Structure 1
Amino acid sequence: MARQSYLFSSESVSEGHPDKVCDRISDAVVDAFLTEMPEARVACETLATTNRVVIAGETRGPDSITPEKIEAIARDCIRDIGYEQDGFHWQTADVSIYLHAQSAHIAQGVDAAGNKDEGAGDQGIMFGYACRETPVLMPAPIHYSHEILKTLAKARKSGAEPTLGPDAKSQVTLRYENRMPVACSSIVLSTQHLDEAMTSDDVRAVVEPYIREVMPADWISEDTVWYVNPTGKFVIGGPDGDCGLTGRKIIVDTYGGAAPHGGGAFSGKDPTKVDRSAAYAGRYLAKNVVAADLAERCTIQLAYAIGVSQPLSVYVDTHGTGKIDDEAIETAIRKAMDLSPRGIREKLELNKPIYQRTAAYGHFGREPDADGGFSWEKTDLAEELSRLA
């Protein structure tokens, strides 16, 4: 029987974290290609270290996306994040680009041809998850970890808190009773600061009001333990302090460890790559299952083979909270949505330049945008699933 009372923690990292700088640049490159050619293929990896950015990978798209344009995209990303320090500056960082054509052997498996439908861009397993712990149907620890950093980033960029730097990490530990969060056991916040004279106590005085603004008031008490910049000074941040890579924060990007992960990263990949599109489909379906009141919690696994159109398996686990059998939900899901790569892309309108905004603060639990961004967060399939189930 599942435990009813326990502590659970999740972390988030800010847009200025070295890995997230790389995710942002890689997704901005994807957006640039999709803007010019919605069916473009992109697999873009970025590495960032002291005053150096390296962009590599495979693409298939228009010649208008030149190395010079990609360099400008990278610099714009770094500037928007806020890096203007000696060891990492949007103007002076060396940007090297090593993008080449997509392998023809991969393309032949993915492209539609004759009677063959478009296949998956790779093999792999992807998971979607939803639960009733928060209004956005996300696990509470990762949701509030993201919200803390989003709020601090907004205060920094608005000029309200000019002493804060772009690089930051948060971690929230919640106490659960009857499998629902009821209190905050501890809060960890490490943030770069630009004033070298600031102590940990000084930083806490700046950030604590914003954290309290985000967290449910009755969850924080005198028993809540605070760790703000626990190592002391944090002036050297971003890629100057720690090398960054695309795709290294996959748990931050998803459910904070509250649900399984298939292992594939999202950023830098066009939506023919099922690591990205099928994970979005899994979240969309799981969220709609919960929104339809078919379950309180739902995990969905999808599995694909490279070049094969339909998923090899669809698995549903409602963790004992389902109002109907899990097998019946599986059947309803297959009827409600075409889970081929093309079917997913068309249903969720994924061939749009909507990915740069996903690069920080999680791909899930966000509000759908009018232009199609975060379409996988809609609950427009709930009524159909209820009818089919």
Structure 2
Amino acid sequence: MRNSYLFTSESVSEGHPDKVSDQISDAIVDLFLAKDPEARVACETLTTTQRVVLAGEIRCKGVYENDEWAPGALEEIERTVRGVVRDIGYEQDGFHWETLTFENHLHGQSAHIAQGVDAADDKDEGAGDQGIMFGFACDETPDLMPATLDYSHKILHRMAADRKSGAAPFLEPDAKSQVSLRFANGKPVAATAVVVSTQHAKGYDQGEKEAELKAYVKKVVADVLPADLLSDETVYHINPTGSFEIGGPDGDAGLTGRKIIVDTYGGAAPHGGGAFSGKDPTKVDRSAAYITRYLAKNIVAAGLARRCTIQLAYAIGVSEPLSLYVDTHGTGTVEDPTLEEAIKSIGKLGGLTPRGIREHLKLNKPIYRRSAAYGHFGRQAEGDFFPWEKTDLVEDLKAAVR
């Protein structure tokens, strides 16, 4: 592993069109799980100028059973969608929560998929699909996340809070950030470049108003990044293309699942390829990615490594994982195979089956919409909404490798 290098990660705000789609999809997951903890949801969302379209497969007691919608269910889904757009802050001519056109093309789950996933008398619940899932943790930040992504998320999270509170009324919902850091001996030592492009009110692309916006962004960056990383040599690119008045789904169509690297580790670790949003936790694309993050974070928190990548693999309809792989990138205090055996020995993990993961992390709850913007990982402070961020496995892991 290289010790000295430049590395960059990006984030996008809750008003980015793809993130609008992710949040709508996860709001539908939450809606159904609140009514039926065993609901099956695979909800995709398209957002574009004055239009939101849902498509996918569902099964949910009290909402959609026997190929029929329960009374009032369609209206509740539409209210949920419009509520997400309203909460993000879209009240623009090209995308307005109250006047946009809404289409719902959700339908029943395939019986052939259900037979592989549902538990029966002679078998445990199977994985909802085949695939590979990765989790990662490192000691670059207190939340054990890659620093470049952590700072990129926090810049936009702060800007959204200021927009909604009125502290920065010139901001509009759509925004992107990017942070480049120089690393020495594997640690971040300097911010070489910061990029922020934000949708703005009319007139904030010239003169004093443009200067006000740029000064505001630099202050946010100074508040978020540690002071010792910033210097006169840090290069800022703030709205480098000029005007950014047209944004969100009016400026660019959005789709669920197109920001998977933003959702995970900013490119600092592998990604199995599957998106998270819009999927209930029987889908291992989501739940196994959460448990691998949980395991990797606990390994680093236990002092057993400075960096840790974990991979799991599944086959559709099969409950036990096909493989478990641990890589501590040469930073481990014990051998990687020892950590693999330690994980397997911890009974409370339920053998890393889909049901075991869901029960251990308590995933059958409406906790997902909040995860759909500013990253699924590195959010310890938000408590029970992110149970995979807990470090309650530290002592178990230490005991298992003694």
What TM bracket, shorter-length normalisation?
over 0.9
In the other structure, the counterpart of 2:108 is: 101
In the other structure, the counterpart of 1:70 is: 77
In the other structure, the counterpart of 1:354 is: 367
Matched position secondary structure for 1:92: coil
Partners in 2 of 1:380 and 1:3 — Cα distance? 31
Pairwise CA distance, 1:252: 0.1
Contact 2:59 2:109 in 1 (8 A): yes
Is 2:88 aligned against 1:81? yes
In the other structure, the counterpart of 2:67 is: none
Superposition pairs of residues 321-332 of structure 1, within 5 angstroms: 321-332=331-342
Partners in 2 of 1:188 and 1:23 — Cα distance? 23
Matched position secondary structure for 1:302: strand
Is 2:197 aligned against 1:184? no
Pairwise CA distance, 1:201: 3.7
Matched position secondary structure for 2:380: coil
Pairwise CA distance, 1:221: 0.5
In the other structure, the counterpart of 1:376 is: 388
The one-letter amino acid of 1:284's match is: Y
Pairwise CA distance, 1:211: 1.3
In the other structure, the counterpart of 2:66 is: none
The one-letter amino acid of 2:386's match is: F
Partners in 2 of 1:41 and 1:269 — Cα distance? 8
In the other structure, the counterpart of 1:164 is: 171
Pairwise CA distance, 1:195: 2.2
Contact 1:315 1:330 in 2 (8 A): yes
Contact 2:204 2:213 in 1 (8 A): no
In the other structure, the counterpart of 1:333 is: 343
Contact 2:298 2:393 in 1 (8 A): yes
Root-mean-square deviation (Å): 1.0
Partners in 2 of 1:320 and 1:3 — Cα distance? 11
In the other structure, the counterpart of 1:210 is: 220
The runs of at least 4 aligned residues of structure 1 exceeding 4 Å deviation read none
In structure 2, which of residues 92, 98, 120 is the aligned counterpart of residue 91 of structure 1?
98
Query: Deviation per CA, 1:33-72, whole angstroms, max 9, x where unpaired?
Result: 0000000000000000000000110000022572211111
Partners in 2 of 1:90 and 1:246 — Cα distance? 18
Contact 1:118 1:309 in 2 (8 A): yes
In structure 2, which of residues 276, 286, 294 is the aligned counterpart of residue 276 of structure 1?
286
In the other structure, the counterpart of 1:116 is: 123
In the other structure, the counterpart of 1:125 is: 132
Partners in 1 of 2:168 and 2:187 — Cα distance? 34
Partners in 1 of 2:284 and 2:345 — Cα distance? 20
Pairwise CA distance, 1:368: 5.4
The one-letter amino acid of 1:379's match is: T
In the other structure, the counterpart of 1:228 is: 238
**How many residues matched?**
387
Partners in 2 of 1:221 and 1:135 — Cα distance? 22
Partners in 1 of 2:5 and 2:214 — Cα distance? 27
The one-letter amino acid of 1:96's match is: E
Partners in 2 of 1:132 and 1:369 — Cα distance? 19
State, as a whole percentage, how many aligned pairs show the same letter: 67
In structure 1, which of residues 241, 245, 249 is the aligned counterpart of residue 259 of structure 2?
249
The one-letter amino acid of 2:321's match is: P
Is 2:150 aligned against 1:151? no
Contact 1:130 1:138 in 2 (8 A): yes
Partners in 2 of 1:258 and 1:95 — Cα distance? 37
- Going from structure 1 to structure 2, the CA distance change for 1:262 and 1:141 (only over 3 Å counts) comes to same
Contact 1:12 1:145 in 2 (8 A): yes
Partners in 1 of 2:248 and 2:270 — Cα distance? 29
Partners in 2 of 1:368 and 1:197 — Cα distance? 34
Pairwise CA distance, 1:112: 0.5
Query: Deviation per CA, 1:231-273, whole angstroms, max 9, x where unpaired?
Result: 0010001000000000000000000000000000000000000
Partners in 2 of 1:162 and 1:277 — Cα distance? 38
Is 2:265 aligned against 1:258? no
Pairwise CA distance, 1:281: 0.2
Pairwise CA distance, 1:197: 4.5
Matched position secondary structure for 1:256: coil
In structure 2, the gaps of 5 or more residues are 64-69
In structure 2, which of residues 376, 379, 395 is the aligned counterpart of residue 363 of structure 1?
376
Contact 1:11 1:169 in 2 (8 A): yes
Is 2:295 aligned against 1:285? yes
In the other structure, the counterpart of 1:37 is: 36
- Going from structure 1 to structure 2, the CA distance change for 1:268 and 1:7 (only over 3 Å counts) comes to same
Matched position secondary structure for 1:209: helix
Partners in 2 of 1:294 and 1:4 — Cα distance? 19
Partners in 2 of 1:86 and 1:287 — Cα distance? 44
Partners in 2 of 1:17 and 1:363 — Cα distance? 16
Is 2:395 aligned against 1:388? no
Pairwise CA distance, 1:369: 4.2
Superposition pairs of residues 292-311 of structure 1, within 5 angstroms: 292-311=302-321
Is 2:164 aligned against 1:174? no
- Going from structure 1 to structure 2, the CA distance change for 1:120 and 1:301 (only over 3 Å counts) comes to same
Contact 1:369 1:375 in 2 (8 A): no
The one-letter amino acid of 1:215's match is: L
Pairwise CA distance, 1:155: 0.5
In the other structure, the counterpart of 1:345 is: 358
Matched position secondary structure for 2:385: coil
The one-letter amino acid of 1:25's match is: I
Contact 1:47 1:54 in 2 (8 A): yes
Contact 1:368 1:377 in 2 (8 A): no
Pairwise CA distance, 1:198: 2.9
In the other structure, the counterpart of 1:22 is: 21
